[in-house]
Structure 1
Amino acid sequence: MSDDVSRRESGEVLIVTGMSGAGRSTAANALEDLDWYVVDNLPPQMLKPLLDLTEIAADALPKVAVVVDVRGRDLFSELPVALQQLRDRRKLRLLFLDASDDVLVRRFEAVRRPHPLQAEGTIIDGIRRERERLAAVRESADVILDTSGYNIHQLATRIVDLFSDEGSARHTLTIMSFGFKYGLPPDADMAADMRFLPNPFWNDELKSLTGEDEAVRDFVLDQEGAVEFIDAYAAALRPVLEGYQRENKRHSVLAVGCTGGKHRSVVTARELAERLAHVPGVAVRIKHRDLGRE
């Protein structure tokens, strides 16, 4: 086997970066709990020596996550070049953690710490400087995770969803039902709106049930256009999921919404999951975000 082939068959490498305050430490801790070997605050210039070490260590370091961020100060500017050089010789993924400016400000104020780039300015000055420095890196990310709506426990759960082992699957699709009245999931890659179907909420016999009950499922699927939409949408998603695999996009979220996230979206999510579970190389997960809400 050639050196190039053996290098590309070495263990997984995940680069974790993103905005300060967006949850890098929480993500790193969650990855450690998943048995990733995590290196924090590594200067970009040290990425190549670290990857050389992982190739030597082979099975001893099957999954390595490296946190690289602006704490490296001027050294951080070398990250885009370093990433490109490493992608040319090694398969790796880049996770970018982000959050809205107002959420980041609140988080810094809560811990009473300055932003690493604010200098003599304000927290928002530091955030804006960081966004400018990270723009090119964000563009090249394989996974962008907006943590604005997450607490630390929800973020840790999301990291587990994204990076736990999935056997031979090359792509993990999370189908998430939700209610539009609670907002569109911020990390959705695709969305389907099921509000074109009659709402079981207005049926006295179904109002207290959910899309996991057979009676609601039968009601939803009996509506004109329901099965036709689900079949057509699943068929349209097959080439998308195959393309994601070709482009090495490992994870995606399909958000399926209705008004409250309790009836139509739940039924549709389950039906789509059943159809898409047969797509080669894809592992499908179902999550009902708003099912327990009043």
Structure 2
Amino acid sequence: MSSPKALAATEAATLPAAPLDNPRPPEVRPSAARRRLLLVTGLAGAGRSTALKCLEDHGFEAVDNLPLDLLPHLVSGVSAAGEAPQPSKIGSLAIGIDSRTRDFTAEGLAILLQNMKSDPALDVRLLFLDSDDETLRRRFTETRRRHPMAPDRPVSDGIAQERRLMFPLQQVADLVIDTSDRTIGDFKALLATELGLEGKAELAITVISFSYRLGLPREADLVFDVRFLDNPHYDPALRPLTGEDEQVGNMVEEDPAYGGFFAGMTGLLWPLLPGFEREGKSYLTIAIGCTGGRHRSVHVARRLAQWLEGKGRPVILRHRDLDRSVPPTGSAGAGAPQSGRG
């Protein structure tokens, strides 16, 4: 299943149009003689500062809020002017630009991007950071900051206005990352993987457990529903426990449907992994969901991560909703069972 936050790369509207049936050529890896220039933009609160700090940790020189009229002058100083670049002296540059940048316009930045991509001495990419509205509102509320585009109005007004302003850049970005529901560590790991900062060609796999009541993970590439398995929620002794506890795991695996399902899931996944790598995909997120995100999905996600590690595949395991409350369903009274939790 394609993630709604799949990392999208599309051609700029200002570039010469290619025939619709002509597929986009494969991405060219930067050569040693080309300097990497990464423009980092997106919505306020989506993680631009975190991204720049991560890039600094990986050897980039980072500049934030550079006025657009200074960008060509800075870039001209890093490209090879009249002489062949020396690979050993070529560094990488990350520039943060957003709606607060002086003289900022999305159209102006798109034109500058097009001009810089025509420079053979540069490997230029535009990174766009996004997040859902609720996450952005929460981040501004937690930090007690005013939105830069709505200093005297509700944060939601500023988010909506900025989203409209930045939409043209999201459409032409080489890489779009949605930071909703990501920890800083997860975000940095994904950024490093997608930009090839670790020098690893192997597919990076994340397995997530989640609650259907709290929504599908936006980053999920593949989703498996385990709500058909016996639910430990209905066992009073197991209800307070989680899928990380042995007793819960035993009950889940004693379900007659479990063995065939797990064998079928792993049998489906295993041949897909090399195929994804051949197509240039560097990050795969597999989501396992149940009703409450505490019992069945947690155990199955753990077992899948262990199985992949046993096959020599590095895995990040996340339990998204393990410690989150699940809203009640329907209008059942206090004495009625809460159907399907776990």
Give me the TM-score of the superposition, normalised by structure 1.
0.72
Cα offset for 1:208? Answer: 2.7
**1:81 is the counterpart of 2:114:** yes
Measured at CA, do residues 127 and 288 of structure 1 come closer, stay the same or move farther in structure 2, by a change above 3 Å? closer
For 1:190, the equivalent position in structure 2 comes to 222
Cα offset for 1:226? Answer: 1.6
Measured at CA, do residues 196 and 20 of structure 1 come closer, stay the same or move farther in structure 2, by a change above 3 Å? same
For 2:302, the equivalent position in structure 1 comes to 270
Distance 1:92 1:276 in 2: 35
List per-residue Cα deviations over 1:93-138 (Å, max 9, x = no partner). Answer: 764311235665786795335439xxxxx7334431221x224224
Alignment equivalent of 2:236, drawn from 204, 218, 226: 204
Distance 2:89 2:264 in 1: 43
**1:40 is the counterpart of 2:69:** no
List per-residue Cα deviations over 1:38-81 (Å, max 9, x = no partner). Answer: 3334667556864769x7464885x7644344535354113653
Moved more, 160-169 or 16-25: 160-169
Q: Percent same amino acid among aligned pairs?
A: 35
Distance 2:257 2:245 in 1: 20
Distance 1:77 1:269 in 2: 42
Distance 2:60 2:281 in 1: 20
Measured at CA, do residues 243 and 226 of structure 1 come closer, stay the same or move farther in structure 2, by a change above 3 Å? same
For 1:216, the equivalent position in structure 2 comes to 248
Measured at CA, do residues 126 and 288 of structure 1 come closer, stay the same or move farther in structure 2, by a change above 3 Å? closer
For 1:20, the equivalent position in structure 2 comes to 44
Moved more, 235-244 or 162-171: 162-171
Structure-to-structure mapping, 1:2-151, within 5 angstroms: 7-8=31-32, 15-32=39-56, 37-41=61-65, 45=72, 50=78, 56=86, 58=88, 61=91, 65-70=94-99, 71=101, 72-73=104-105, 75-78=108-111, 81=114, 95-101=127-133, 104=136, 111-115=145-149, 123=158, 124-131=160-167, 133-138=168-173, 140-141=174-175, 143-147=176-180, 149=181
1:80/1:136 contact within 8 Å kept: no
Distance 2:170 2:266 in 1: 34
The alignment yields a C-alpha RMSD, in angstroms, of 4.0
Cα offset for 1:266? Answer: 1.3
For 1:252, the equivalent position in structure 2 comes to 284
Distance 2:267 2:189 in 1: 25
Alignment equivalent of 1:284, drawn from 309, 315, 323: 315
Distance 2:124 2:260 in 1: 39
Measured at CA, do residues 219 and 268 of structure 1 come closer, stay the same or move farther in structure 2, by a change above 3 Å? same
SS of the residue 2:41 aligns to? strand
Distance 1:206 1:11 in 2: 57
Distance 2:314 2:93 in 1: 22
Cα offset for 1:167? Answer: 7.3
Measured at CA, do residues 107 and 268 of structure 1 come closer, stay the same or move farther in structure 2, by a change above 3 Å? closer
Cα offset for 1:22? Answer: 2.1
Cα offset for 1:258? Answer: 1.1
Give me the TM-score of the superposition, normalised by structure 2.
0.63
For 2:211, the equivalent position in structure 1 comes to 179
Measured at CA, do residues 243 and 199 of structure 1 come closer, stay the same or move farther in structure 2, by a change above 3 Å? same
Moved more, 268-277 or 106-115: 106-115
Measured at CA, do residues 108 and 166 of structure 1 come closer, stay the same or move farther in structure 2, by a change above 3 Å? closer
**Aligned pair count?**
274
List per-residue Cα deviations over 1:163-219 (Å, max 9, x = no partner). Answer: 467674522111111222333223223222111111011123322322222222222
Distance 1:231 1:48 in 2: 56
Cα offset for 1:91? Answer: 7.5
Distance 1:89 1:239 in 2: 39
Alignment equivalent of 1:229, drawn from 248, 256, 261: 261
Structure in which a larger fraction of residues adopt helix: 1
Letter in 2 for 1:18: G
1:16/1:94 contact within 8 Å kept: yes
2:309/2:315 contact within 8 Å kept: yes
Distance 2:205 2:97 in 1: 27
Distance 1:222 1:9 in 2: 58
Query: Tell me, which stretches of 5 or more residues in structure 1 are unaligned?
Result: 117-121
